[in-house]
Amino acid sequence: MKLAQRVESIALSQTLAVKKAAEELKRQGSDVIDLGPGEPDFATPEHIKIAAKRAIDQNFTKYTAEVGIPELRQAIVDKYNLSCKTSYKSENVIVTSGAKQALYHIATALFEEGDEVIIPAPYWVSYPEQVRLNDAQPIIVETRESDHFRLKASAIERALSSRTRAVIINSPNNPTGATIEQSELEAIVQLAHKHKFFVVFDECYEHFLYQGKHSCAAEFDAERVIVVSSVSKSYAMTGWRIGWALGPLPIIQALSKIQSHSTSHPTSIAQHAAVAALYGDQLCLKEMLSQYTERRAFVLEEVAKIPGMQCSVPTGAFYIFPNISGFCDGRAIKNSVDFARFLLQEAHVAVVPGSAFGTEGYVRLSYATSMSQLAEGMSRMRRALSRVRATA
């Protein structure tokens, strides 16, 4: 069947094969420990659920403005103007169906054939595909384990060309958990100003920080920056599908045109729930962070006990990205997909291969799961990997 060229040029997620295999094993009744998910295991906090139920009872069940309800746009602006000292107005915000849709709208509004978009690797899986789907070319810039996967402005500067349209920065990063230093972020925003490209700044994991202080790119120059985030990870609301983009007015107007002809707007009920998330009690963030802190320390300790596996210490998000190249012997385990398959078959533990994030020789483990699951998963992993080392 003939499909549009733009679809032919994108890959189906590489994570899918391992995920499917894990689901198949679960269906057959195997007790699979899933360290793959990119979503919090916590329930959405009660006061947010109550706000959603109230929205239904009060019949907030009709179409809303394509840019989102005024209360939510204002809540988003208030959040940024308070924490980043920006002077956004509600016209600078569009509410979208998750951060993913905000990123996709931005790609559609800004990128076209001939444009280059710089993406630091390891990257979140959808960035390069969204760029390709909009006929532009992703330019991948590697970050290194020896630098704790921290992005440097000099690496972006080296990748610039007259075709550079944007750089997509994600801090804290999925999958490495790395965060960008404030001075490096400021230097990248200055480059954007000088060379007239945009910084798309994805800060979906901003609340999960274990060291230092989060910096938002908009603090330095709101004219060249488009900030993207959501309530998905912060408030354990992945299924509610509420995210946003904040940026210069002409860009937000362009995104709203696209949204008005695609999904219209995110669900009215979920928008009311997101208002409660942003204006409500923030204690839930502290509680989740405290549990992630404990789990992170535990998985890092456990990884350190596995001979042949090293891990850069992540400063944010809820992932670790250990180096597994010592297990890739060129025979049974050649790469990260083989490694993930081996763990699934031998230990019934699911992880995500690094190749899905553009970086071979690593896997992503999520600690957004209970301590008991983590303990069982790490112990099974250690046992299975000791057999690989023994036969290597």
Q: Which spans of this chain sit near ligand PLP (rule: CB under 6 A)?
A: 38, 98-100, 124, 170, 174, 202, 204, 230, 232, 238, 243
Q: Give 174 or 309: the residue with its C-beta nearer to ligand PLP.
A: 174
CB of 38 to ligand PLP, least distance (A): 4
| Direct distance between the N- and C-terminal alpha carbons of the chain, in angstroms, rounded to an integer | 46
Q: Give 80 or 327: the residue with its C-beta nearer to ligand PLP.
A: 80
CB of 266 to ligand PLP, least distance (A): 10
CA distance 316 to 21: 29
Rounded to the nearest angstrom, the gap between the alpha carbon of residue 282 and the centroid of all alpha carbons in its chain is: 21
Q: Give 38 or 358: the residue with its C-beta nearer to ligand PLP.
A: 38
CB of 127 to ligand PLP, least distance (A): 8
Instruction: Tell me whether residue 5 is exposed, middle or buried, using C-beta atoms within 10 angstroms of its C-beta: 0 to 12, 13 to 18, 19 or more.
Output: exposed
CA distance 51 to 269: 9
- Beta-sheet pairing, 225-230 with 198-202: parallel
Residues 201/227, Cβ–Cβ less than 8 Å: yes
CB of 201 to ligand PLP, least distance (A): 11
- Count of all residues that appear for the chain in the document: 392
CB of 232 to ligand PLP, least distance (A): 3
CB of 123 to ligand PLP, least distance (A): 8
Q: Give 241 or 348: the residue with its C-beta nearer to ligand PLP.
A: 241
Q: Give 15 or 92: the residue with its C-beta nearer to ligand PLP.
A: 15
Residues 6+ apart with CB under 8 A from 245: 93, 94, 96, 102, 105, 106, 226, 227, 228, 251, 252, 255
Q: CA 20, 25, 30: angle at the middle one, nearest 5?
A: 150
Rounded-to-10 torsion of CA 150, 124, 372, 148? -10
Q: Give 64 or 173: the residue with its C-beta nearer to ligand PLP.
A: 173
Nearest to ligand PLP by Cβ — which residue?
A: 98
